[in-house]
């Protein structure tokens, strides 16, 4: 959990906590020292044991767990690491207990006994550390606390694989709580609380929000923004999507984000372009609700604006340039077709090879000479189609963004050269962007095709990819 | 699930559903026939299999599950039984898979492999039926649907123990969703929606609400009513408590419910009397949140009204008369003390024995002759103290209401003869009521004492119980 | 103001008031005695004078006015009358001041001076009593207080005409505050607060609501109920309308109110029937917002349910029987046509005259013999058409309900014999009801026609009325 | 009304309007040309006449008025001026009608007749232009529309005094609608809608809000911000105040606004400092609700934070430097005392006179040499005390900010040299700021004293002012 968030949590918990857990605090005696030295760890272990034994009844146990959670928040980086180490060292799975329960299951003689044995075995597979942490929800902001604690564990997994494994166990718990049917899809507008809008700026991961003015422009009358929220984290978006309502397929993100452009009438738009999707909570990595976002938002939009006919993304191709350069480095002979070489021969000095083509692209000004730009783009567009449609790792697409949308049932609709001319866009993909299109009645078939390793594309892209 | 609720669900789902699951319905082809004959069961099984295989991606699976849920709602009593029978017959635990996974766990050679094996084993312990049902939350009102379906299973457990075991499995899932930290405690007043108040009338289980006027009186300015709600069942209370704000300990529920009595100033009350607690959802039997209710309500009340000093219940003693009659029938010699027999000798015809004492109580008019009433009450009060404090089944109190409050950390404070003179009160307990008192700083110790088999009582009651 | 409302006001004001106007109370010294005897009146006058002089700044004046308002609420019937008498006796218009200001206006020599003089004259025309009362809004629930105080004045106008005139002055003030553009139109459903629904029962003036079950039925899925609210009286409807969504024109209110009838699908209804409109606040008599209600509700309904094609009322004809009996008593020769007399000759004993016709109707069982019923109804229907379309007082319709709808631009659409067979319906109008229809594009022309004395009716009714 | 606001209004009205006033538009025929040439004015006049005559019933009149309002919004600067000119030329007071009604009043023979005559006279004093404009509230955002239209009139008053007089008439109408008892006091926090916070930035008139970060700092946990809102302008603050919760009296606004300072615990503050009060609506000039703001906010704060003991402002002294320079220019001999001259003699070159003192202050760096700064400040502080306490225009204080707070019942508490070292602060008042203190139990007496011409000050300031 990052320090700012932790501080803000501590701050919010503040007074509320003081009232609620007065009793809890009395158990803690003196606060733990910030770095949780040996001696304090021992006191900590005592408290955890009391908690896990269920001393004093459920209500007391919750209060005690809340006190432990608060103790964690008050520790420094070093102290937290020690706290987590205590958890993974002492409160992991009890292998003997599991073995015992397996035995009991084997011996069960009737359905009734088997049901009991299964329940017992299941309990034994639930590590005490996880049982303890799940009770931290008693804290004000306790769900957010646990999400952040898992983010912390993931970050520390490199140092100590046990932290990673505890994070995996927590994923299971969080996946239950964050099941999509418990989430609220909410529209975000310029009338939303500033404290929430501020978080869009913080969490936007695709096209950076540069200022409040930029943000306001993205919430204009011809834009929509939706996010999933959990009832217990009402000011924390889980994932959000930014949508532009336009006429026809949009090909350039710079045009979409141009603050000087006047808003158009959303009742005359025929296409909803999903141009940015950002996950907000590192601690929810691996918990799936993103798949539902696009479908749910498309439903909402269609309800509001029956004039909308098409739903598509305008997406980056983050792996394209790296793939291209790897091909060039590997000396791929088939990168350029004969026709392309001919076409480029008057534009590129010397012999036209994958290498000289790559050198031409390496020059910052390649987009500034129209003929050169057009020549290079034509080839890049084809290569990008090939990269998206034909290049795979096993059955899955190479490109990470492609993987998300194809698994969701979208198809590759159109390649947009110079769709993103920002530094990031040029660096990742020579400015290439792609539209993935969601045709609601084909989504299921597309998903099935993709799960068998076939990428569905529009006829135009399919033809390009075959070239 | 009772038919009215089901009908109301179907009704509400109505239009919403039609829009959302258009695709879903298309899979179903013709609707299942109401009683789900053989042929239709086969189609049902196909659909369930598709669902469990995850065909078409997560979004499609949810829609498909919703269609199955809707199919269930449209069945009649017989059809539902067949549906549930299909579930318990075909979608229970796969014992071979479990055995395999146990083996894999045994063979795991390092922590990483073990973690994977544990996860695999855990999955295998999750019966497909439960995985399927958990996806029904995709239905509008899906959480309520599942709660009601579990109520249905519990009701049918007597016919077929497999239904009971499936209900137990569902309890585990629901316990996760209905963890107290996800519930909202809300105050209910005369300004609450009628649709909600109507449910209080329906669910009140202790002292029947006779009319809207009676209800309004219970929500007057010197009364409080609180309920727990789940964010996905906003109009359905899970459990609610009715509180009277009074001066001193209240002893008679008829006085509390008297509609003609003017409201008192709650800012001058020193005691909060919890006089009725009702669980509302049969499908949440065994999911514990009741324990938290009294503590949370006491906190709320103290925040609002710092003048409150005491928190106590005015509770029925539902098992008292049955216990008493069992003692009499068993010819218990020690039921009456020598002093009591003497005192009663002028009041009861013939020899004073347990039997003649019981006969005196069997007469409807025993409360109408003051001397007789006083004489009988004195003995009943002592016996009731004994029943509550000393009579046990193992370490637990005999009386079910006593069990709840004692496990919560309350103590037996005062016995109230003729505290409930309603037919029900006389029939259950000769009109006896009891105050359980919650002293916030003793709750934890009381709980511990009780979990070791000791019932804590006020000095007066303790003395009576010893007599 | 009725005593219950006053008590409830006093109650609500309770604590809030104590805090806010602590200072205010300090001025009051001892509370006034309940009947406001001479001596206390003098103190009252002192306080009013201080208030009107504006002593201590605006904030203080408001607090002082609030204290006076509270004093009024604490008086009994007699005391209130004295309070109001003080107002009308001492704080009416200052005729000399008006004369002076008129003079100043005459003398004004330029536009600037005239503007000032006009402002001065206007002030002088504002009686101090009204200025004082307008400041009572500083009370919690102050707007409701003033509305109720005006109701009180209207009720007392018969005793003392000065009260009536003060009520007229207050109407002007309230008309400003209750301008329709400041009101909120809100839908009322079974999910509305019970405290609000309870008021529908209290205020319903057309077809009595007999029970909460009856009320719930009127809020079913094929019904709508809308009310105007003022932002400062959020729990007090000002006027409300009950609507049934049906197929075709409804003719019988008993059918509409039948609790056993199942709800129909509102998405398949083509007609909205406004079957009950009730004013709720006696103190707002003469303040017009009712005119806007039907138009606004029709707009709302059409937005929600585009399938609705027709908007009409099902209304009583409260003056019909009285008018008919007056005609009979006056010996009107033309009441029955020759054809009608012939048709009735076999049904009514003796000669068919207006008198014998009236006698036939006077029998309680006239509706029970089919032939007789049909014969009498035919005549009544024609007479009712005549009564509604042709009978006037000056340019206005005779019937009070007709006056409201015709002035609103509705037309007389259909006469419904035995449309209301309740005792009240038979007593007022021999069971006759009428549909007034609002055709949105004719409303303006109909209004103009009516304001020139012409009643617009459907061809069928017009033909009947001419017969 | 400024063009941006108008545009935003037009924008918002957009779709809503199209639906609501379809009928209305049909009357308008072709839209008026932007500059409203002669011919179009004539059509306008026809429409206004229809409106004032009440043709077609109240509902139609409102729709027609809305259409006129919309027409106004679509005009350009020139067209609007013509529109307003039509209003003041043709729809002013009808003097003959007034004279007639005066006559009728004179002739009235009894109370009843007099009441009628008074009502008639009052109507005649209501110019048609005002009656027309008051109906524009039928527009979506109609109340805001009228407020802005009045701002427009005020701005144009210099060109044409008739516009000013119409603005005065509108003030009367708006004063009724914006009576403080109809306003909501709301707290504004960082969780408020961005669309609202944006307006604080726009309207802040005392200490400019430089960025969203600056704004967030002003809404931190030890700050409070409150505004009055009208129910019909929910996103438009009318007036707002910014408060800092501190320990002891605050003397420097730069310290308060320092973004790097950590927030303090508001539960330990003893003083609420009102450091910025801004009126937001130019069109509400002369409508008093500001007086109530401080009292209401102080009440709110005391409820939330009982630890608060003192309420004071930290206010600018905008007229101080101008007054000082006028004194110097006028050669005021008594500006400096003998002791001051002596004390300054070593600090200022040449003879110490009002002029040389002023020259010293004219140097930009006078605050940088400690001894000089201290010497000059000592004199300025005394002069500022004199300026605030003793300098008057009639009975009123010279300084405009002083006038507001003194009339509200505050006293001059403390003078703060270099309390505002911003350019504006130095330019207006050599950096002087002043605390006005609100002692709740002295407010009324202070107000009375001030209304008789006496300024109440703390003993320290009073002594300084006398020096």
What is the rounded CA–CA span in Å between residue A147 and residue A167?
A: 10
Q: Sort out which chain A residues have CB atoms less than 8 A from B138's CB and list them.
A: 181
Q: Where are the alpha helices (DSSP H) in A271-395?
A: 290-304, 320-329, 338-345, 354-362, 370-390
Counting one residue from chain B and one from chain C, the pairs whose CB atoms sit within 8 A come to: 35
pLDDT value at A7 more than 50: no
Residue B137: C-alpha distances to residues B86, B131, B149 (Å): 20, 11, 12
Yes or no: say if D209 and D202 are a contact pair by the CB < 8 Å rule. no
Catalytic: which of D181, D315, D356, D447?
A: D315
Inter-chain CB proximity B112 and A232 less than 8 Å = no
Distance (Å) from the alpha carbon of B453 to chain C's nearest alpha carbon: 46
- Count of Cβ atoms closer than 10 Å to residue C366 Cβ: 18
SS3 C434: strand
Lowest mean pLDDT among B19-33, B101-115, B357-371, C447-461: B19-33
Let me know if B441 is exposed, middle or buried by CB neighbors in 10 A (0-12, 13-18, 19+). Answer: exposed
- Count of Cβ atoms closer than 10 Å to residue D28 Cβ: 17
pLDDT value at C136 more than 50: yes
State residue C331 phi and psi, 5-degree precision: 70, 30
What is the rounded CA–CA span in Å between residue D427 and residue D322?
A: 9
What is the rounded CA–CA span in Å between residue B285 and residue D421?
A: 69
Q: What is the DSSP string of C250-313?
A: ---HHHHT-TTSPPP-GGG--EEEEEEEEE--GGGTT---HHHHHHHHHHHHHHH-TT--EEEE
pLDDT value at C10 more than 70: no
Per-residue pLDDT at B410: 95
Of all residues in chain D, the one with the smallest CA distance to C182 is D232
Bridge partner residues of D311 (DSSP)? D272
What is the rounded CA–CA span in Å between residue B27 and residue B24?
A: 6
A265-279 in b/e form (b: 16+ CB < 10 A) is ebeebebbbbbbbbb
Inter-chain CB proximity A444 and B57 less than 8 Å = yes
Query: A299 is written with which tokens?
Result: 């439903």
C261-286 in b/e form (b: 16+ CB < 10 A) is eeeeebeebebbbbbbbbbbbebbee
pLDDT in tens, A358-388: 999 998 889 998 999 999 999 999 999 999 9
Q: What is the largest CA-CA distance in chain A?
A: 85
Beta-strand relationship, D310-313 and D271-279: parallel
Q: How many CA atoms lie within 13 A of D113 on its CB side?
A: 10
Per-residue pLDDT at A305: 95
Give the residue carrying structure tokens 């077709």: A337
What is the rounded CA–CA span in Å between residue B451 and residue B395?
A: 7
Question: In angstroms, how far is CA C178 from the centroid of its own chain?
Answer: 14
Beta-strand relationship, B392-393 and B310-313: unpaired
SS3 B141: coil
Yes or no: say if C45 and C36 are a contact pair by the CB < 8 Å rule. no
What is the rounded CA–CA span in Å between residue C226 and residue C277?
A: 10
Per-residue pLDDT at A61: 86
SS3 A433: strand
- Partner residue opposite A231 with nearest CB, options B19, B111, B231: B231
pLDDT-based confidence at C282, cuts 50/70/90? very high
End-to-end Cα spacing for chain A? 49
Query: B249 is written with which tokens?
Result: 């300990």
SS3 A176: helix
Give the residue carrying structure tokens 């103001």: C1
pLDDT in tens, A447-467: 999 999 999 999 999 999 998
* Interface residue of C10, C194, C201, C211 to substitute, partner B, most B CBs within 10 Å: C194
Q: Which H helix or E strand runs over D411?
A: strand D411-416
Average pLDDT, whole number, for chain C? 89
Mean of pLDDT values over C110-138: 93
- Residues of D with a Cβ under 8 Å from any A Cβ are 11, 15, 190-197, 212, 216, 221, 235, 267
**Non-local CB neighbours of A246 within 8 Å, separated by 6+ positions:** A222, A256, A264, A269, A271, A273
Yes or no: say if D271 and D245 are a contact pair by the CB < 8 Å rule. yes
Yes or no: say if C80 and C37 are a contact pair by the CB < 8 Å rule. no
pLDDT in tens, C327-337: 999 988 789 99
SS3 D31: coil
Bridge partner residues of C393 (DSSP)? C396
What is the rounded CA–CA span in Å between residue D183 and residue D168?
A: 21
Yes or no: say if A245 and A266 are a contact pair by the CB < 8 Å rule. yes
What is the rounded CA–CA span in Å between residue B409 and residue B311?
A: 12
- Residues of C with a Cβ under 8 Å from any B Cβ are 11, 15, 190-197, 212, 216, 221, 235, 267
**Non-local CB neighbours of B198 within 8 Å, separated by 6+ positions:** none
What is the rounded CA–CA span in Å between residue B348 and residue B375?
A: 10
With contact defined as 3+ CB pairs under 8 Å, the chains touching C are B, D
Yes or no: say if C117 and C104 are a contact pair by the CB < 8 Å rule. yes
Yes or no: say if B68 and B48 are a contact pair by the CB < 8 Å rule. yes
Let me know if A351 is exposed, middle or buried by CB neighbors in 10 A (0-12, 13-18, 19+). Answer: exposed
Beta-strand relationship, B310-313 and B411-416: unpaired
SS3 C29: coil
Distance (Å) from the alpha carbon of D414 to chain C's nearest alpha carbon: 23
- Partner residue opposite C137 with nearest CB, options D125, D179, D299: D179
Instruction: Give A235 or C225, the one with higher predicted confidence.
Output: C225
Distance (Å) from the alpha carbon of B274 to chain A's nearest alpha carbon: 18
Yes or no: say if C105 and C121 are a contact pair by the CB < 8 Å rule. yes
A48-59 in b/e form (b: 16+ CB < 10 A) is bebbbeeebbbb
Inter-chain CB proximity B191 and C191 less than 8 Å = no
Mean of pLDDT values over A125-144: 89
Above pLDDT 90, what percent of chain C? 75
Q: Which 8-state DSSP code applies to residue A405?
A: H
What is the rounded CA–CA span in Å between residue B411 and residue B429?
A: 19
Counting one residue from chain C and one from chain D, the pairs whose CB atoms sit within 8 A come to: 129
What is the rounded CA–CA span in Å between residue A79 and residue A69?
A: 13
Lowest mean pLDDT among A198-207, C64-73, C166-175: C64-73
What is the rounded CA–CA span in Å between residue A392 and residue A465?
A: 13
What is the rounded CA–CA span in Å between residue B150 and residue B1?
A: 8
State residue C96 phi and psi, 5-degree precision: -65, -45
Mean of pLDDT values over C76-88: 94
Inter-chain CB proximity C409 and D59 less than 8 Å = yes
Query: B34 is written with which tokens?
Result: 């109401």
Kindly report the length of chain D. 467
Q: How many CA atoms lie within 13 A of D31 on its CB side?
A: 12
Give the pLDDT of chain D (467 residues) as one tens digit per residue: 344 433 443 343 333 333 333 333 444 456 788 888 888 889 899 889 988 988 878 888 888 888 888 889 889 999 999 999 999 999 999 999 999 999 999 999 999 999 999 999 999 999 999 999 998 887 778 899 999 999 999 999 999 999 999 999 999 999 999 999 899 999 999 999 999 999 999 999 999 999 999 999 999 999 999 999 999 999 999 999 999 999 999 999 999 999 999 999 999 999 999 999 999 999 999 998 888 999 999 999 999 999 999 999 999 999 999 999 999 999 887 899 999 999 999 998 889 999 999 999 998 889 998 999 999 999 999 999 999 999 999 999 999 999 999 999 999 999 999 999 999 999 999 999 999 999 988 988 999 999 999 999 999 999 999 98
B289-302 in b/e form (b: 16+ CB < 10 A) is bbbbbbbbbbebbb
pLDDT in tens, B185-195: 999 999 999 99
Question: Nearest Cα to C5, choosing from C147, C208, C179?
Answer: C147
End-to-end Cα spacing for chain C? 49
What is the rounded CA–CA span in Å between residue B382 and residue B302?
A: 33
Query: B185 is written with which tokens?
Result: 């405690």
What is the rounded CA–CA span in Å between residue C232 and residue C249?
A: 38
Distance (Å) from the alpha carbon of D69 to chain C's nearest alpha carbon: 14
Q: Which 8-state DSSP code applies to residue B282?
A: G
With contact defined as 3+ CB pairs under 8 Å, the chains touching B are A, C
- Partner residue opposite A181 with nearest CB, options B56, B137, B172: B137
């Amino acid at each position: 959990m990052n320090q700012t968030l932790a501080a803000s949590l501590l701050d919010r918990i503040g007074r509320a906590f003081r009232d609620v857990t007065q009793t809890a605090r009395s158990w803690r005696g003196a606060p733990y020292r910030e770095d949780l030295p040996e001696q304090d760890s021992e006191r900590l272990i005592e408290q955890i044991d009391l908690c896990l034994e269920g001393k004093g009844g459920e209500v007391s146990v919750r209060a005690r767990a809340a006190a432990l959670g608060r103790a964690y928040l008050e520790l420094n980086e070093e102290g937290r690491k020690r706290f987590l180490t205590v958890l993974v060292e002492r409160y992991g799975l009890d292998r003997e207990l599991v073995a015992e329960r397996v035995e009991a299951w084997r011996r069960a003689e009737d359905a009734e006994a088997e049901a009991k044995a299964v329940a017992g075995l299941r309990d034994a597979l639930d590590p005490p550390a996880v049982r303890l942490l799940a009770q931290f929800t008693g804290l004000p902001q306790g769900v957010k606390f646990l999400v952040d604690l898992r983010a912390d564990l993931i970050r520390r997994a490199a140092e100590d694989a046990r932290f990673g494994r505890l994070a995996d166990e927590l994923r299971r718990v969080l996946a239950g709580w964050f099941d999509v049917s418990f989430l609220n899809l909410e529209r975000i507008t310029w009338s939303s609380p500033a404290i929430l809008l501020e978080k869009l700026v913080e969490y936007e991961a695709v096209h950076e929000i540069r200022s409040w003015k930029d943000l306001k422009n993205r919430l204009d009358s011809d834009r929509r923004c939706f996010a999933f929220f959990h009832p217990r984290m009402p000011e924390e978006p889980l994932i959000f999507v930014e949508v532009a309502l336009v006429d026809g397929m949009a090909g350039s993100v710079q045009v979409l984000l141009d603050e000087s452009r006047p808003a158009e009438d959303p009742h005359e738009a025929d296409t909803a372009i999903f141009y940015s999707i950002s996950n907000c909570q590192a601690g929810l990595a691996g918990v799936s609700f993103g798949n539902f976002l696009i479908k749910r938002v498309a439903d909402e939009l269609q309800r509001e604006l029956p004039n909308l006919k098409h739903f598509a993304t305008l997406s980056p191709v983050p792996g394209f340039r790296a793939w291209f350069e790897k091909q060039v480095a590997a000396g791929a002979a088939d990168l350029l077709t004969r026709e392309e070489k001919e076409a480029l021969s008057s534009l590129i000095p010397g012999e036209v090879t994958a290498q000289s083509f790559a050198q031409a692209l390496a020059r910052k000004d390649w987009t500034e000479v129209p003929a050169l730009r057009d020549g290079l783009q034509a080839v890049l567009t084809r290569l990008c189609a090939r990269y998206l449609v034909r290049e795979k790792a096993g059955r899955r697409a190479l490109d990470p963004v492609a993987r998300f949308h194809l698994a969701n049932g979208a198809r590759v609709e159109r390649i947009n050269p110079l769709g993103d001319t920002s530094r990031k866009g040029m660096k990742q993909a020579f400015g290439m962007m792609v539209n993935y299109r969601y045709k609601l009645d084909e989504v299921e078939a597309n998903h099935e095709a993709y799960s068998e390793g076939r990428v569905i594309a529009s006829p135009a892209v399919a033809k390009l990819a075959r070239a």
